[in-house]
Chains A and B, each alone.
Chain A
Amino acid sequence: DGGITQSPKYLFRKEGQNVTLSCEQNLNHDAMYWYRQDPGQGLRLIYYSQIVNDFQKGDIAEGYSVSREKKESFPLTVTSAQKNPTAFYLCASRFQASPYGYTFGSGTRLTVV
């Protein structure tokens, strides 16, 4: 699956619930990213992490949280504070020292029910 795996493929959330999206990569990439995709909006950066135990907010971080305890893993939690979470979420990774070679996961479609 291209070395970066997202799960689940589809996820349903009830109002007031937190849900966690998984992203795992075996490419030995240093940097990992979470993007949100809405129709007509392109890809917007939520959070990114350059090294283990460090991460920074992107452009739309409110209502989301992340952790980076292992190099291979960068889970995203969509909290109840995110008022409009229905979207397609994409995880990506790349080597730290290069702007090239962005690899994307296959995405998770989150729907509020």
Chain B
Amino acid sequence: GENVEQHPSTLSVQEGDSAVIKCTYSDSASNYFPWYKQELGKRPQLIIDIRSNVGEKKDQRIAVTLNKTAKHFSLHITETQPEDSAVYFCAASKRSGGSNYKLTFGKGTLLTVNP
């Protein structure tokens, strides 16, 4: 099955710096890659996603890049703010029988932005 590796597990940056989180996936059939932000004790929230026919996508301070050949994708947060502090999860999705799409998550990165 699909395996998603996420690095680093923890990341600490100063306010205003950039943060980069990287994920690799194993199944070349995966074609959808969302990123979720989860604050302590709360639900994961989708912050950005990318489909396999696109190499890069940007939304204000957040961007995601995808390298299908190398099977890795990354989350980039610029001009970080303390409210960006949270756990970030990457995920990979592929069709898994019929119309089911199975989402496999990385283990998460705890991002801390220090004021």
Partner-B contacts on A (CB < 8 A): 2, 31, 33, 35, 40-45, 48, 50, 56, 59, 88, 90, 94, 96-100, 102, 104-107, 109
A35 to B1 alpha-carbon distance, docked (Å)? 17
Q: List which B28-67 residues lie within 8 A (CB) of chain A.
A: 31-32, 34, 41-46, 49
Which of A35, A43, A99, A105 is in CB contact (< 8 Å) with B101?
Answer: A99
Q: Provide the residues of chain B in CB contact with A50, threshold 8 Å.
A: 98-100
In the assembled complex, 25 residue pairs joining A and B whose CB atoms fall closer than 8 Å, in A order, are A2-B43, A31-B100, A40-B108, A41-B107, A42-B6, A42-B106, A42-B107, A42-B108, A43-B44, A43-B89, A45-B102, A45-B103, A48-B100, A50-B98, A50-B99, A56-B100, A59-B1, A90-B44, A97-B99, A99-B31, A99-B94, A99-B101, A100-B49, A102-B103, A105-B43
Q: Provide the residues of chain B in CB contact with A105, threshold 8 Å.
A: 43
A45 to B42 alpha-carbon distance, docked (Å)? 18
Q: Provide the residues of chain A in CB contact with B94, threshold 8 Å.
A: 99
Q: Provide the residues of chain B in CB contact with A109, threshold 8 Å.
A: 41
**A106/B42 in contact, CB under 8 A:** yes
A-contact 0/1 string along B1-23, CB 8 Å cutoff: 10000100100000000000000
With contacts A42-B106, A43-B105 taken as known, whether A107 is within 8 angstroms of B43 at the C-beta atoms is yes
Total interface residues on B, using CB and 8 Å? 27
Q: Provide the residues of chain B in CB contact with A40, threshold 8 Å.
A: 9, 107-108
Q: List which B53-102 residues lie within 8 A (CB) of chain A.
A: 89, 93-95, 98-102
A50 to B96 alpha-carbon distance, docked (Å)? 12
Which of B41, B46, B99 is in CB contact (< 8 Å) with A102?
Answer: B46
Q: Provide the residues of chain A in CB contact with B41, threshold 8 Å.
A: 88, 107, 109
Which of B31, B43, B101, B102 is in CB contact (< 8 Å) with A90?
Answer: B43
**A106/B105 in contact, CB under 8 A:** no
Q: Provide the residues of chain A in CB contact with B101, threshold 8 Å.
A: 94, 98-99
A40 to B107 alpha-carbon distance, docked (Å)? 6
Q: Provide the residues of chain A in CB contact with B46, threshold 8 Å.
A: 102
